[in-house]
Amino acid sequence: MITDVVVVAMYSEADAISHVNAALAAAGEEQCLRPLDMSAAGGSKVITARVWAASFSYLDWSALRDALMAAPWRFPRDVTILADGDSGISERLIPGDPQ
């Protein structure tokens, strides 16, 4: 059972991603969210957005969802989280929006 997770946020949200990755590690998860190479995205400019992604096997989605929603996002309404999995998970989360 594979679950793909993508987080789109500003570069300044690295602390929140570290929080989520620490929660994953504490739960025994070997995989973590990693930044994708954005060097080509800005062209001749420096892009301030960042994309983190991971593909998990047999993920406890509710635990990861809780960690993502509780992370110390600086600009939560500017964060988008997409998840899609073999187990039927298909969700789009924005931490700053009421659930």
In a domain, 88, yes or no: yes
Query: How many C-beta neighbours within 10 Å does residue 30 have?
Result: 8
3-state secondary structure 30-51: CCCCEECCCCCCCCCCCCCEEE
The CATH number for 67's domain is 3.30.70.120
28 domain-assigned: yes
Residues 36 and 93: their CA atoms lie apart, in Å, by 19
Is residue 99 in some structural domain? Answer: no
- Residue 5 Cα distances to 42, 45, 58, angstroms: 23, 27, 13
If one counts the domains in the chain, the total is 1
Please indicate, yes or no, if residue 44 is contained in any of the structural domains. Answer: yes
Q: Using one digit for the tens of pLDDT, what is the confidence trace for 54-70?
A: 999 988 888 899 999 99
Say if 38 falls within a structural domain: yes
Q: Using an 8 Å Cβ cutoff, are 62 and 3 in contact? A: no
Residues of the chain with pLDDT under 70: 97-99
Rounded to two decimals, the pTM is 0.88
